Amino acid sequence: MVKYSCETCQKTFTQKGHFEKHMSRKRPCKKDNTIEVLVEQKVKEVLSKTNIVDKNESSTNQDMKLNQMDYTKKTREELIAICKEKGIKGYSNKKKKDILELLSPINNTIVEKKKDILSPVNNTNIKKFTYIDLFAGIGGFRYGINAFQSSHPQYIFECVKTADIKKDALKTYNYNFKEDNKACDVHTIKNLPYFDILCGGFPCQPFSSAGKQQGLDDKGRGNLIYEVLRICKESKPEYIILENVSNIETINNGEVLKTIVKEFQTIGYHIDCIPVNSAQIGLAQDRKRIFIIGCKSKQPKVIVSKKNPVTIKDIIDLTDETTNLSENFLRKLLVLPTEQLIGKSIKDKRGGDSNIHSWDIDFHGKISERKKILLSTILLERRKKKWAAEKKIKWMDGIPLSFMDIKTFLDYEGLQEDLDDLVDKKYLSMEYPKDIVDGKRTPIEKLPIGYNISKGKLSFPISKILHPSQLCPTLTATDSSKLAVLVGKTIRQLNEKELKRLCGFPEQFSLPHGVNKYDLFGNMVCPPVVTAILETLLLPSV
Ligand SMILES: C[S@@+](CC[C@H](N)C(=O)[O-])C[C@H]1O[C@@H](n2cnc3c(N)ncnc32)[C@H](O)[C@@H]1O
């Protein structure tokens, strides 16, 4: 069963309506920081028992702690000094009231916690981990770690380094974690002191099926894995958690992944590679990723436990009926009955009944049933291998067919007029068949010009209307803006709430103005997957 939980007060709801009512209360609920307070007390107790004193803590800092409640009486400059002392970032250009906000008890708790606990406290139940968040994006790893910490308060994590170079990603990360990280290229990270865990969803384009699949030969992004290796060699973290697209397992017959594993083994890590689909851990997204897990002291064995499946209907935001799709396009689509809309792709490609084609919705203007049959027949015929053999060219999907070719499978009086009209209306285009010349697809002008279907999948404002009882396909940086849902009487792109739910980000996560949410969510790692991995990696096995 899907559970909705309030990130502020931790209450859980089984019914979405109740949850939404709770979230829209006039008087917002209060954060339940009982766990944080308990942890804080426990840590203090442990430190005093073991006589551990934080050497970094100056007497001024201790005074400040005593005077926490007097912050309002301090000047802006004094507050900035306190921020510096406490390692709180983000005070530049801020007014006094905003700096006070930064120093509010919640923020204090976190920072004090970071400073108070010294690395591994022995003979206690408290386990402290430092980690670095490489290729941090919008913080999928960090949210996953935070969720693990919330449910296992004896584990305390501190992020000691964040690296990313994308403006939108950093803006979003800083906005949500109230930090002021500047762009940091992993190439520039040198000789970090020891930390416990290295997290990184290294860039996937060189490995993804959408890219050129150059793998480790990719001179730019592919080589970033070697930067990760270098950082591990220098700092020797106990654990490594890396994430990448599932295709990394298969390109070059699996050689790419084997090479990566071997490189980490050579520098002293035991490695386990595990595919995890977000859908198996209770998200409504079919997103398969490979996790490369390393451990210095023992062989890691990661088994991610399965959770109840959920689908689009569990995450859809039925309150949002606003759309920015054109009225004209929507009017054409919405003439189809609901069952012919939901779950359908919108493209002039193969796929039979699971596709809505441009002519099914009179995308370029009304046409007769006879012309629709002509288009559907050309769509299928142009894929047949025999046309390539007849034209003595290499077979490629979608060969343009000449008038004489078409006549062989559909011959009637008025065929030429129908074809002309479909070209005029832009349902068909006229092209020369292509062959491979010097490694490139090249039109062969000595062959008769042919008719081809003009619209691919990218030419429609949306590519798919999601089915309420199915999963959302993998969100990608380029295509997720084209996924749509039918809500009330309209069709719209996925909104921020839905993207968050599909990816397992907390409800309180929010996007700053002006960032490209589809790109950011298309690249993130799902936090609940990270949490699930930590559960098997760090908790003692039963
Ligand atoms: C696949 S995304 C990882 C997203 C992240 N796991 C999240 O949850 O949002 C890869 C990220 O690596 C960043 N990146 C690419 N090259 C980088 C470099 N040389 N140094 C640091 N970050 C880099 C990109 O900007 C992108 O945000």
What confidence tens digit (pLDDT) does each residue in 353-371 have?
889 999 999 988 999 999 9
Q: Is the pTM of this model over 0.85?
A: no
Task: For ligand 1, say whether the CB of 525 is within 6 Å of any of its atoms.
Answer: yes
What pLDDT sits at residue 102? 72
Task: For ligand 1, say whether the CB of 201 is within 6 Å of any of its atoms.
Answer: yes
Question: Ligand 1, closest atom to CA 141?
Answer: 8
Task: For ligand 1, say whether the CB of 164 is within 6 Å of any of its atoms.
Answer: yes
Known catalytic residue at 159 = no
Task: For ligand 1, say whether the CB of 168 is within 6 Å of any of its atoms.
Answer: no
Q: Is the dihedral of CA 232, 237, 238, 239 positive or negative?
A: negative
- Complete DSSP assignment for 472-499: EEPP-TTTGGGEEEEETTEEEE--HHHH
- Whether residue 469 contacts residue 312, with contact meaning beta carbons closer than 8 Å, is answered with yes
Mutate to test the pocket of ligand 1, among 132, 135, 285 (most ligand atoms within 8 A of CB): 135
Number of C-alpha atoms within 13 angstroms, CB side, residue 255? 7
Q: Please report where in the chains the tokens 């068909």 appear, as a residue.
A: 428
Structure letter (DSSP) for residue 141: H
Q: For residue 166, report the distance from its CA to the centre of ligand 1, in Å.
A: 7
- Whether residue 158 contacts residue 128, with contact meaning beta carbons closer than 8 Å, is answered with yes
Task: For ligand 1, say whether the CB of 39 is within 6 Å of any of its atoms.
Answer: no
Q: Please report where in the chains the tokens 């480790």 appear, as a residue.
A: 216
What's the CATH fold of domain 126-314+509-542? Rossmann fold (3.40.50)
What pLDDT sits at residue 49? 43
Minimal-distance CA residue to ligand 1 atom 2: 523
Quote the CA–CA distance of 53 and 43 in Å, as a whole number.
Answer: 12
Task: For ligand 1, say whether the CB of 169 is within 6 Å of any of its atoms.
Answer: yes
Minimal-distance CA residue to ligand 1 atom 18: 185
Quote the CA–CA distance of 476 and 499 in Å, as a whole number.
Answer: 11
DSSP three-state, residue 358? helix
Quote the CA–CA distance of 449 and 427 in Å, as a whole number.
Answer: 16
Q: For residue 173, report the distance from its CA to the centre of ligand 1, in Å.
A: 12
What pLDDT sits at residue 67? 36
Q: What is the pLDDT of residues 111-137, one digit of tens each?
A: 333 332 334 444 468 999 999 999 999
Task: For ligand 1, say whether the CB of 477 is within 6 Å of any of its atoms.
Answer: no
Q: For residue 243, report the distance from its CA to the centre of ligand 1, in Å.
A: 11
Task: For ligand 1, say whether the CB of 225 is within 6 Å of any of its atoms.
Answer: no
Minimal-distance CA residue to ligand 1 atom 10: 203
Q: For residue 174, report the distance from its CA to the centre of ligand 1, in Å.
A: 15
Question: Ligand 1, closest atom to CA 243?
Answer: 6
- Whether residue 340 contacts residue 356, with contact meaning beta carbons closer than 8 Å, is answered with yes
Sites in the chain below the pLDDT cut of 70: 1-10, 26-70, 85-87, 89, 104-124, 206-222, 455-458, 542
DSSP three-state, residue 467? coil
Minimal-distance CA residue to ligand 1 atom 15: 203
Q: Where are the domains of the chain?
A: 48-117, 126-314+509-542, 318-363+456-494, 366-454
Name the class of domain 366-454.
mainly alpha
- Whether residue 238 contacts residue 537, with contact meaning beta carbons closer than 8 Å, is answered with no
Quote the CA–CA distance of 116 and 109 in Å, as a whole number.
Answer: 10
Mutate to test the pocket of ligand 1, among 218, 523, 531, 533 (most ligand atoms within 8 A of CB): 523
Q: For residue 201, report the distance from its CA to the centre of ligand 1, in Å.
A: 7
Task: For ligand 1, say whether the CB of 522 is within 6 Å of any of its atoms.
Answer: no
Task: For ligand 1, say whether the CB of 106 is within 6 Å of any of its atoms.
Answer: no
Task: For ligand 1, say whether the CB of 163 is within 6 Å of any of its atoms.
Answer: yes
Long-range contacts of 215-218 (CB under 8 A, 24+ apart): 215/248, 215/251, 215/252, 215/255, 215/256, 216/256, 216/259, 216/260
Q: Name the active-site residue from 199, 204, 472, 503.
A: 204
Q: For residue 425, report the distance from its CA to the centre of ligand 1, in Å.
A: 44
